Homo-oligomer: A and B are copies of this chain.
Amino acid sequence: MAKQAKTAITPTREENYPLWYQQVVKAADMAENSDVRGCMVIKPWGYSIWENIQRTLDDKFKETGHVNAYFPLFIPKSFFEKEAEHVEGFAKECAVVTHTRLEDNGKGGLKPAGKLTEELIVRPTSETIIGASFAKWVNSYRDLPLLINQWANVVRWELRTRLFLRTTEFLWQEGHTVHATEKEAVDETMLILKLYADFARDYLAMPVIEGEKTESERFPGAESTFTFEAMMQDRKALQAGTSHFLGQKFAKASEIKFQNKDGREEFAWTTSWGVTTRLIGAIIMAHSDDNGLILPPRIAPKHVVIVPIYRNDEEKEKVLGFVSKLQEKIKTLRFDDKKIGVHVDNRDLRGGEKLWEWIKKGVPIRLEIGPRDVDGNSVFMGRRDLEPRDKKNVNVDEFTQNLISTLNEIQNNIYQKALNFQQQNIVKIDNKNDFYNFFTPKNKNNPEIHGGFARSHWCGNAKCEEQIKDDLKVTIRCIPLDAEQESGKCIYCDEESDKRVIFAKSY
């Protein structure tokens, strides 16, 4: 009987994309649901990817003059009442602390006690509490710009949650900056947007589209919100992060004022920006295949895994000696100015089982080394960007000489593949009927796999945007920064339009 083509992950992407996603997360041992509704446990493999994201971005923030600080987890309810739009945006998803003690409930259990006079909100974002500090810190133009970042946990009470993509508690960084002029604040907003987009392309191997959000998709209270959007393999858009120009709204709500060079008092201009653990979800969905996670080398916690193969003590000694020398050699090399992560999997399990585990975990390079490889001074190499069976013998010195360039090649391959996919699935559409057909799933049992991104004209009217959203669950992901001036007709109402925007279903 012929061997059936089988994948490590069931179901496949084609069969059931949402379930495939869950299975990839599980098979790679990255995260799991906790006993607290909507809150995830980030397991070591998933967390180490976050650590890499954090370290890389943190260095970039510092290079551009930002410093880290830490602000309270709790926000007094009254702070939330200061900026009307802002509270409107978050009031429906707030965790509220009302008590400060537990005491005996008389039935063998516990009940809350010590009622607070003013309730505290667990931060869903920190503009208001940070604004209160900034009001104290900023007095003169000499104190500006103030460029602060915070790495923290935040809570937004979500009804429908999905590991990494949407969880009640998530980890993020939130940048908050204060400037003397509108121009400086806008420049900061765009600087960070570019920093994020470059990071997504260069590290996460993820092609993204940078653009501005329409009014209905803006951050509550912002003057303008900029986003970078990535295409997942189900052709949906994922908002990978945002950078907000807040104008003087929050400065006015929090009284962030400064004396300008002429000695007059002015309200300052602020920005805020953030990316979250959702980026891990984006990596999974942009790159992984039906055998599990595929990690771009520049963000992988381990770059090389070595599985020693032996049948008896004599072979074991021979193989492990060779492996240990190779491991030491690899450790002396640097990729991306960091030590290469090399792991020898010595567990008492069958070789095939171990290899599949590392495939599912997405490690860029797997090496199998047995007695014959030792004799031939070679390694048997598999690359995660190629098929699992596509392995080859490589002389060990060649392997180490080429290791950095191989890792770069894998990084580029992964990026190119995602870029090709994105470009194939961004379509110019100028006809309402085509537009509606594009976004209507052909297979009702599998509605996730549908069109892709539509580049279409929009008149700028929120009503057209609303109607399309109601009809198709399709939203304007962004008005791309590089959109050319081009006259056309709104895809919904046929009114004049001067540029195309990106429509898509989204996460």
Contacts and interface: CB of A to CB of B under 8 A. Distances in A.
Interface in A125-162: 129, 132-133, 136, 142, 148, 152-153, 155, 157
Contact of A155 (B43, B47, B73, B148): B73
Given A70-B41, A70-B171, A91-B110, A129 B36 contact: yes
A103 interface: yes
B157 A100 contact: yes
Interface string A466-506: 00000000000000000000000000000000000000000
A176 to B, nearest CB: 12
A190 interface: no
Nearest to A171: B70
A102 B110 contact: no
Contacts of A98: 96-99, 112
Given A48-B67, A129-B35, A102 B120 contact: no
Contacts of A157: 100-101, 114
B169 A44 contact: no
A72 interface: yes
B91 A96 contact: no
Nearest to A152: B153
15 contacts: A35-B79, A36-B74, A36-B129, A39-B74, A43-B69, A44-B68, A77-B109, A77-B110, A92-B101, A93-B100, A96-B101, A96-B102, A98-B98, A100-B157, A112-B119
Interface residues of A, number: 64
How many copies of this kind of chain does the complex include? 2
Interface string A182-218: 0000000000000000000000000000000000000
Interface in A313-336: none
Interface string A257-289: 000000000000000000000000000000000
Contacts of A122: 73, 97, 122
Given A102-B121, A153-B73, A51 B36 contact: no
Top 7 closest A-B pairs, CB basis? A39-B72, A44-B67, A42-B70, A96-B99, A91-B102, A96-B112, A100-B157
Given A96-B99, A152-B153, 19 more contacts: A34-B132, A34-B133, A39-B73, A41-B70, A42-B70, A44-B67, A44-B68, A47-B67, A51-B68, A73-B169, A77-B109, A80-B110, A91-B110, A92-B101, A98-B98, A98-B112, A100-B157, A114-B157, A142-B348
A26 to B, nearest CB: 12
A261 B491 CA distance: 68
A300 B100 CA distance: 36
B73 A48 contact: no
Contacts of A41: 69-72, 133
Interface in A46-64: 47-48, 50-51
